[in-house]
Amino acid sequence: MISVITPVYNGEKFIESCLKNVIEQSCSNCEHIIVDGASTDDTVVIIREYARQYSHIRWISEPDRGQSDAMNKGIKMAEGEIISILNVDDFYAPNALNRVSAIFSRLPKPSLLVGNCNIRGNNDKIKEVNKPNRLGVVKLIARINPFPLNPSAYFYHKSLHQQIGLYKTDEHYMMDLDFLIKAVQKAHVKYVDEVWGNHRQIEGTKTVTLFQNGEHEEYIVRFLAEHRQNLPWYHQLHFLLVDIQVRIAYFSRHPDELLPSINAKFKLLPSLIKKWSLR
pLDDT class of 103 with cuts at 50, 70, 90: very high
Query: Is 159 within 8 Å of 75 (Cβ atoms)?
Result: no
The larger pLDDT score, comparing residue 23 to residue 275, is at: 23
pTM of the model: 0.82
Long-range CB contacts (within 8 A, 24+) of 224-230: 224/141, 224/143, 227/141, 227/178, 227/181, 228/141
pLDDT of amino acid 211: 55
pLDDT class of 239 with cuts at 50, 70, 90: low
CA–CA separation, 142 and 154 (whole Å): 21
**Chain segment 30-40, per-residue pLDDT in tens:** 999 999 999 99
The larger pLDDT score, comparing residue 252 to residue 150, is at: 150
Provide the residue type at 112 as one letter.
Answer: L
pLDDT of amino acid 222: 84
CA–CA separation, 12 and 133 (whole Å): 34
**Chain segment 132-162, per-residue pLDDT in tens:** 998 988 888 888 788 999 999 999 999 999 9
